[in-house]
């Protein structure tokens, strides 16, 4: 979601757009204007396009879409150095950096860049794991800047939002950001820091900046930007996101020499990337005939640079992995409403799976016996499935579930049907309900360590409900499926003693039938006598 003010956003768009028109343009590009509240607007964005997660980035894309020619971004050589010491190798080995000068911050764009940084942290950077971003007032920093790792108890500085100096260790224990992100440094003997030539600490990535050197304000004219992480290519791409946004703010980019032990690299690299696109692939994927000129103009509409007959992807695009991603942009530029839908002429013969057909027949049969079908959930709890049913058993358990009322996957339908009865006690009786549904059991031998089977369960609840009644239901089911079965007296705590039987099909125990024990009814807070059965339908396969 991109939240901005309409006035500010409109000031970034070169053509004057009414709100309706803005909505249309966004829709065609593939985004939705989610909410308008006075001057505040919220636009639904996607993490797949991190270049559009700030107002300037989205405005840039809209301007291209409305006809503005895409520009090239250039860097100036500065010679500023960032020296990467080998101590960071084990913690967070890479950094890429840049300096942007001539900036004029105000309340709006300062908020925008800070929001953008946070948004990149939470989406593209996967909660700072993939990349941590730092932006600092360059005026206050003395180069060269060092990137090194120090023992956590030895380094200390005043972190943002605090007024006292803390050690690295204390920051992780006491600072809110430290507590949020400490898992990213877990198990490291040394913590990474950026420190300038006057031994002032800039920050301890990926956790927190210093209060002194790590905060940009309206008065900041020049910024130092660093990205740290584990994958150089990712960092390079991501750096361009912030840098190009700041250029759009009006800044000028200066490159830095990032000096590693074995190599020196100059960052950022704002060169656009040459794209190989086969026209025939675009045409067959889009179902369109297009001239080169049309393709070029469609590509320009989505920000690509065209030089002669060569296509270049802008340096802020992190999402282009394959030719199809470029074709997707052509499609967006062509606008969804301009495609003429065509029914695919592919003839094949359709079939249902056998078990689907059989289950439908079983459902129809039980419906015919006067039962209302219900759908209960597979996610349930031990208390419902075992505790209230006075039994124990193995089940597939859940880990770290958000909804604390669930903790396992059902092994039986019967308790879930009793829960349905509980919910509906105030309605007319008799209540006759059934379900055909899956139950799951742990199975060490299977590929997914689980075994699924389909059960049928029916219950009758009424002022009088007898074994004879439910048994005749079961009998009708078996006789209509032309399957022979036997009932064998048994004991089961779920049912009244002497009124419960195992259902035997083909010599195999396949279910249970009986009058529900009053203790179980009491556990489910049910008042009416209830009878029921549960049957594994495996014998139909």
Partner 1 sequence: MYVLTEEGEKYLKNKLPEINLVKELSKKELSVSEAKKLENFNIALQWAKKNQWIEIEKGVMKLTESGKSILEKKYEVEEYLKEIKSGKFDEDKMKILLTRNLVRNVTEKELETKKLIGKEVVDVTPEIIRSGVWRDVKFKKYNVEFPGKKIYPGKKHPLNLVFEKIREVFIEMGFDEMQGPLVETAFWNMDSMFIPQDHPARDIQDTFYLSGEGDLPDKKIVKNVKEVHETGGNSGSKGWNIKWVPEIAKQLLLRTHTTSVTYRTLAGGIETPCKRFCIGRVFRNEASDATHLPEFHHAEGFIAANNLNIRTLMGFIKSFYSKFGLDEVKFKFNYNPYTEPSLEAFGYSEKLGRWIELINSGIFRPESLSPYGIKVPVIAWGFGIERLAMFIYGNKSIKEILGHTCDLKYLRNYNLLKLEKW
Q: What are phi and psi of 219, to 5 degrees?
A: -85, -10
Residue 342 within binding range of partner 1, rule CB under 8 A: yes
Q: Is 35 in the site for partner 1 (CB under 8 A)?
A: no
Report, in Å, the least distance between residue 4 CB and partner 1: 20
Residue pair 196/141 in contact by the 8 Å Cβ criterion: yes
Region from 71-79, 166-174, 403-411, 478-486 binding partner 1, contact rule CB under 8 A = 403-411
Measured from the CB atom, is 28 or 466 closer to partner 1?
28
Nearest to 167 by CA among 190, 141, 138: 190
CA distance 156 to 170: 9
Q: Is residue 118 at the binding interface for partner 1, with CB under 8 A as the rule?
A: no
| Site for partner 1 contains 475 (CB under 8 A) | no
Say whether residue 358 binds partner 1 (CB under 8 A). no
Among 2, 12, 13, 29, binds partner 1 (CB under 8 A): 29
Whether 110 and 209 have beta carbons less than 8 Å apart is answered as: no
In angstroms, the CA 328 to CA 305 distance is: 16
Instruction: Kindly tell me the burial class for residue 252, based on how many C-beta atoms sit within 10 Å of its own C-beta (0-12, 13-18, 19 or more).
Output: middle
Among 1, 32, 183, 506, binds partner 1 (CB under 8 A): 32
Place of tokens 């009708």: 476
Q: Which residues of 307-327 are buried (b: 16+ CB within 10 A; e: fewer)?
A: eeeebbbbbbbbbbeeeeebb
Residue 95, both tokens = 């950094």
Phi, psi of 207 (to 5 degrees): -100, -65
- Shortest CB 107 distance to partner 1, Å: 31
- State in angstroms the smallest separation of the CB of 468 from partner 1: 20
Does 309 interact with partner 1 (rule: CB under 8 A)?
A: no
Q: Is the CB of 14 or the CB of 324 nearer to partner 1?
A: 324
Of 378 and 540, nearer to partner 1 (C-beta) is: 378
For residue 391, state whether it binds partner 1 (rule: CB under 8 A).
Answer: no
Q: Phi/psi at 379 (nearest 5 deg)?
A: -85, 120
Q: Which of 164, 199, 428, 491 binds partner 1 (CB under 8 A)?
A: 428
Assess whether the previous peptide bond of 144 is cis (omega < 30° from 0). Answer: yes
Residue 327 interacting with partner 1 (CB under 8 A)? yes
Choices 144-152, 153-161, 180-188, 351-359; region in contact with partner 1 by CB under 8 A: 351-359
Q: How far apart are the first and last CA of the chain?
A: 49
CA gap 511, 453 in Å, rounded? 12
Nearer to partner 1, 219 or 347 (CB): 347
Interaction mask 125-154, partner 1, x per CB under 8 A:
-x--xx------------------------
Q: Kindly state whether residue 453 participates in binding partner 1, applying the rule CB under 8 A.
A: no
**Under rule CB under 8 A, residue 347 binds partner 1:** yes
Which residue carries 């509409």 as its tokens? 301
Contact flag: residue 212 with partner 1 (CB under 8 A): no
Q: Pick out residues in 367-386 that bind partner 1 (CB under 8 A).
A: 367-379
Q: Which is nearer to partner 1, 107 or 186 (CB)?
A: 186
Closest separation in Å from C-beta 391 to partner 1: 18
Among 423, 463, 482, 541, binds partner 1 (CB under 8 A): 423
Q: How far is the CB of 267 from partner 1 (least distance, A)?
A: 18
Answer yes or no whether residue 455 interacts with partner 1 by CB under 8 A. Answer: no
Stretch that binds partner 1, among 41-49, 151-159, 186-194, 245-253 (CB under 8 A): 41-49
Cβ neighbours of residue 68 under 8 Å, at least 6 residues apart? 14
The answer to whether 163 contacts partner 1 (rule: CB under 8 A) is no
Rule CB under 8 A: say whether 280 interacts with partner 1: no
Residue 285 contacts partner 1 per CB under 8 A: yes
| Closer by beta carbon to partner 1, 145 or else 413 | 413
Cβ proximity to partner 1: between 308 and 337 the closer is: 337
- Shortest approach of partner 1 to residue 352 CB, angstroms? 5
Cα angle 364-365-368, degrees, rounded to a multiple of 5: 85
205 within 8 A of 228, measured Cβ to Cβ: yes
Which of 243, 165, 241 is CA-nearest to residue 208?
165
Task: Collect all residues with Cβ–Cβ distance below 8 Å to 412 and sequence separation of at least 6.
Answer: 385, 389, 439, 455, 457, 534
* Residue 66: partners with Cβ closer than 8 Å, 6 or more residues away: 13, 14, 15, 25
When binding is defined by CB under 8 A, the residue of 78, 87, 123, 480 that contacts partner 1 is: 123
Rule CB under 8 A: is residue 20 a binding residue for partner 1? Answer: no
Out of 198, 293, 322, 488, the residue judged to bind partner 1 by CB under 8 A: 322
Q: Is 119 one of the binding residues for partner 1 (CB under 8 A)? A: no
Task: Report the residue number, 447 or 491, with the smaller CB distance to partner 1.
Answer: 447
Size of the site for partner 1 (CB under 8 A): 92
SS3 labels along 404-473: CCCCEECCCCHHHHHHHHHHCCCCCCCEEEEEEEEEEEECCCCCCCEEEEEEEEEEEECCCCCHHHHHHH
Helix 19-29 × helix 55-65 angle, to 10°:
90
Which one, 11 or 401, has the nearer CB to partner 1?
Answer: 401
Among 346, 482, 488, 541, binds partner 1 (CB under 8 A): 346
Q: Quick check: 36 binds partner 1 (CB under 8 A)?
A: no
Q: Does 387 bind partner 1 (CB under 8 A)?
A: no
Q: Residue 30 — φ and ψ, nearest 5°?
A: 110, 20
- Could you write out the DSSP letters of every residue in 234-288? HHHHHHHHHHHHHHHTT-EEEEEEEE-SS-EEEE-----EEE---HHHHHHHHT-
CB of 441 to partner 1, least distance (A): 10
Q: How far apart are the C-alpha atoms of 12 and 64, rounded to whole Å?
A: 12
Q: Does 351 bind partner 1 (CB under 8 A)?
A: yes
């Amino acid at each position: 979601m991109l939240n901005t003010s309409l006035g500010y956003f409109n000031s970034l768009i070169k053509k004057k757009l009414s709100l309706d028109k803005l909505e249309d343009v966004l829709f065609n590009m593939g985004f939705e204007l989610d909410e308008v509240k006075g001057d505040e607007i919220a636009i639904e964005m996607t993490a797949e396009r991190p270049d559009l997660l700030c107002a300037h980035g989205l405005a840039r894309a809209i301007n291209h879409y409305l006809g503005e020619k895409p520009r090239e971004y250039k860097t100036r050589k500065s010679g500023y150095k960032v020296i990467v010491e080998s101590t960071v190798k084990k913690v967070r080995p890479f950094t890429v950096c840049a300096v942007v000068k001539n900036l004029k911050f105000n309340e709006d764009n300062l908020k925008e860049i800070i929001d953008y940084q946070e948004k990149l942290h939470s989406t593209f950077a996967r909660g700072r794991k993939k990349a941590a971003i730092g932006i600092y007032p360059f005026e206050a920093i003395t180069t060269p800047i060092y990137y090194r790792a120090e023992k956590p108890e030895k380094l200390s500085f005043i972190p943002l939002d605090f007024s006292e100096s803390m050690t690295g260790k204390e920051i992780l224990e006491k600072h809110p950001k430290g507590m949020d992100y400490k898992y990213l440094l877990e198990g490291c003997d040394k913590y990474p820091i950026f420190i300038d030539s006057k031994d002032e600490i800039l920050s301890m990535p990926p956790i927190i900046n210093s209060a002194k050197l790590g905060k940009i304000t309206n008065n900041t004219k020049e910024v130092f930007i660093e990205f740290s992480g584990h994958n150089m290519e990712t960092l390079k791409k991501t750096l361009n996101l912030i840098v190009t946004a700041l250029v759009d703010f009006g800044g000028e980019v200066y490159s830095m020499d990032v000096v590693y032990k074995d190599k020196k690299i100059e960052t950022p690299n704002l060169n656009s990337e040459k794209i190989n696109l086969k026209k025939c692939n675009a045409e067959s994927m889009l179902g369109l005939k297009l001239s080169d000129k049309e393709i070029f103009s469609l590509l320009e509409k989505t920000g690509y640079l065209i030089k002669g007959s060569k296509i270049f992807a802008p340096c802020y695009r992190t999402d282009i992995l394959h030719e199809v991603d470029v074709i997707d942009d052509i499609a967006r530029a062509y606008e969804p409403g301009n495609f003429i839908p065509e029914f695919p002429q592919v003839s094949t013969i359709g079939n249902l799976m056998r078990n689907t057909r059989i289950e439908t027949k079983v459902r129809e049969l039980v419906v015919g016996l006067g039962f209302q079908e219900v759908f209960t959930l597979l996610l349930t709890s031990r208390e419902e499935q075992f505790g209230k049913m006075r039994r124990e058993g193995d089940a597939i358990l859940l880990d770290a579930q958000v909804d604390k009322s669930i903790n396992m996957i059902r092994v039986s339908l019967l308790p879930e049907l009793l829960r349905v009865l509980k919910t509906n006690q105030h309605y007319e009786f008799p209540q006759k309900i059934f379900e055909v549904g899956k139950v799951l059991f742990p199975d060490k031998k299977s590929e997914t360590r689980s075994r699924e089977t389909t059960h049928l369960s029916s219950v009758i609840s009424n002022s009088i409900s007898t074994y004879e009644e439910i048994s005749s239901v079961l009998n009708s089911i078996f006789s209509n499926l032309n399957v022979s079965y036997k009932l064998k007296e048994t004991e089961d705590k779920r049912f009244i003693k002497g009124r419960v039987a195992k259902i035997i099909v083909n010599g195999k125990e396949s279910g249970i039938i009986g009058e529900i024990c009053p203790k179980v009814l009491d556990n489910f807070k049910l008042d009416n006598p209830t009878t029921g059965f549960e049957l594994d339908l495996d014998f139909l396969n």
